[in-house]
Amino acid sequence: MNTEQTRTAFTDFFRERGHRITPGAPLPRPPGDPVLFTTSGMHPLTPYLEGRPHPLGDRLTGVQRCLRTTDLEEVGDATHLTVFEMLGSWSLGDYGMDRTLRLGHELLTGVYGVHPGLLHATVFGGDDQLGPDTESLDTWRDLGVPVELTREDNWWSNGPTGPCGPDSEIFVWTGVGPPRNTPQSDDRWVEVWNHVHMRYRRLDDNTLRPLPRHSIDTGMGLERLAMVLRGDCSVFESDLFEPWTRALPALWDLDGARLRIAADHLRSAVVVAGDGVTPSGTGRGYVLRRLLRRVLTLLRQDDRAGEGTDGRPRRTLADLPGGPIEHTLVHFGLPCPPRRADEVRDLLVDEERRFTGMLDRGRRVLSRRRFAGPLGEEEYHYLHDTHGLPRELVDLLRGVG
Ligand code: ATP
Ligand code: MG
Ligand code: MG
Ligand code: MG
């Protein structure tokens, strides 16, 4: 199965079981949402999980592109991306935890062919206020899947307030040989799917109010699912990333974590730009600018030929072939307005030009005598606050780090 078939198999499975397809929302959240970007499949469905009737009914499925700036520092490992796709299924006051976990088990083992012995689950073990989620515990035991109870890791919320509840996460063993240890102690167990029992709503005063209607919200990372189904070592090995992991090393000396970060950040930036965001100094635009500056800094560090005598890099984003950009936009269904591939490309190149201008100014500032020796915290702060030069850039310009 390629990733497209994996994605379709998910929505087909739920459609055949009475779920209607809800179209995904764009990455930028509309005004009024306290968060800048869609961070999970349930995010656009918040009002319905809080009780409003959904126009498509009480069983839904779909695919949602998500962006998590909170995961930026983890990107480069085997399983975390900045922009990723979440396969989702929802029961709005219809079936409960037992049914959703059984559906999950059936899809993973029966449709995707995961060996049942390679599964492990975690379940909410209770806290000071609430008891353990015995319903999920009983279901997993009945299905013969080993379970671990946790205190903190199995409580879902999408922010300080709003719908929340206990969840159950499903892990697949990716190590060599038979499964060992537990997900809490061994990261060869890769979390693929989370099933949440939306039973509460957290209010502004931090209290929990039971929801009148209990719902189910599930989310499974498409890239992670593809990784475990293919037996890959990371999410970067599938057809989704192939155009990027082929094009980038041909231009820059990149491998390992640096290649993964470059591929993630450029691909994520293309999706954010394709969704209509323009780099700027605030809000969504600043997230896009930060992503691009992180990757540009990394590319400058790895510039194959080093900088020319004029201080210019030999390679720029203008050297990037159009293929990976086009491929990404088409995959996310973004080849149409708000932005076309050539416009996205121009935007990347413009932003790089701005970055180069900033480096030029940075070089002039750093040539002052004050910055000749080793820099202390005070200098770094001054360079950041007065000249907008982050530490990594200062180090890059000074040839250290
Ligand atoms: P992790 O513990 O691995 O960070 P999570 O518990 O934060 O994952 P959830 O919020 O439960 O993830 O999201 C549901 C699913 O979405 C996860 O089980 C995983 O498959 C996928 N997912 C979450 N974060 C990422 C990410 N940064 N990149 C790719 N897939 C992700
Ligand atoms: Mg996480
Ligand atoms: Mg987790
Ligand atoms: Mg989770």
Residue 51's φ and ψ, nearest 5 degrees, are: 130, -15
13 and 46 in a single domain? The answer is yes
Position 305 scores a pLDDT of 47
3-state class (DSSP) for residue 145? coil
285 and 181 in a single domain? The answer is no
Last residue of a domain, one of 185, 218, 235: 235
Domain count, the chain: 2
119 and 214 in a single domain? The answer is yes
210 and 63 in a single domain? The answer is yes
Q: Does residue 377 lie in a domain region? A: no
- Angle between helix axes 256-274 and 341-366 (nearest 10 degrees) is 120
| Mean pLDDT value of segment 346-368 | 93
Q: Does residue 252 lie in a domain region? A: yes
CB 296 within 8 A of CB 355: yes
Q: Which residues surround ligand 3, an ion (CB under 5 A)?
A: 191
CA nearest to 104, candidates 92, 132, 116:
116
72 and 218 in a single domain? The answer is yes
203 and 306 in a single domain? The answer is no
Q: How far apart are CA 259 and CA 263, in angstroms?
A: 6
Amino acid at 279: P
150 and 95 in a single domain? The answer is yes
Q: Does residue 388 lie in a domain region? A: no
Q: Return the best residue to mutate from 172, 191, 240, 291 for the ligand 1 pocket (most ligand atoms within 8 A of CB).
A: 191
Q: Which ligand is nearest to the CA of 68?
A: 1
- Nearest CA owner, ligand 1 atom 22: 221
pLDDT category of residue 151 using cuts at 50, 70 and 90: confident
* End-to-end CA separation in angstroms for the chain: 42
pLDDT category of residue 181 using cuts at 50, 70 and 90: very high
Pull the structure tokens for residue 369: 């005598």
Q: Which ligand is nearest to the CA of 78?
A: 1
What is the distance in A from the centroid of ligand 1 to the CA of 84?
Answer: 9
Q: How far apart are CA 110 and CA 160, in angstroms?
A: 37
| Mean pLDDT value of segment 370-397 | 90
Q: How far apart are CA 321 and CA 247, in angstroms?
A: 7
CB 242 within 8 A of CB 252: no
- Does the Cβ of 191 fall within 6 Å of ligand 1? yes
| Mean pLDDT value of segment 146-167 | 94
- Angle between helix axes 283-301 and 341-366 (nearest 10 degrees) is 70
**What residues pair up with 89 in beta bridges, in sequence order?**
61, 218
Residue 156's φ and ψ, nearest 5 degrees, are: -100, 135
Q: How far apart are CA 273 and CA 288, in angstroms?
A: 8
Query: Per residue in 54-76, pLDDT tens?
Result: 999 999 999 999 999 999 999 99
160 and 247 in a single domain? The answer is no
Query: Per residue in 232-269, pLDDT tens?
Result: 999 999 999 999 999 999 999 999 999 999 999 999 99
Write down how long the chain is.
401
What is the distance in A from the centroid of ligand 3 to the CA of 333?
Answer: 28
216 and 254 in a single domain? The answer is no
Query: For residue 338, is the peptide bond before it cis, meaning its omega torsion is within 30 degrees of 0?
Result: yes
175 and 251 in a single domain? The answer is no
Strands (E), 3-53: 20-21
CA nearest to 324, candidates 223, 250, 389:
250
Q: Does residue 109 lie in a domain region? A: yes
The answer, as to whether pTM is greater than 0.90, is yes
Please give the residue range of the domain that contains residue 91.
3-235
- Please provide the DSSP assignment of 277-305 as one string: ----SSHHHHHHHHHHHHHHHHHHHT-TT
For residue 394, the surrounding DSSP H or E stretch is helix 391-398
- Does the Cβ of 78 fall within 6 Å of ligand 1? no
Q: Does residue 399 lie in a domain region? A: no
Helices (H) and strands (E) in the chain, counts: 12, 9
Q: What is the mean pLDDT of the chain?
A: 94
CATH number at residue 188: 3.30.930.10
Q: Does residue 376 lie in a domain region? A: no
Q: Does residue 155 lie in a domain region? A: yes
Position 51 scores a pLDDT of 94
3-state class (DSSP) for residue 200? strand
Q: Does residue 381 lie in a domain region? A: no
Amino acid at 128: D
CB 166 within 8 A of CB 137: no
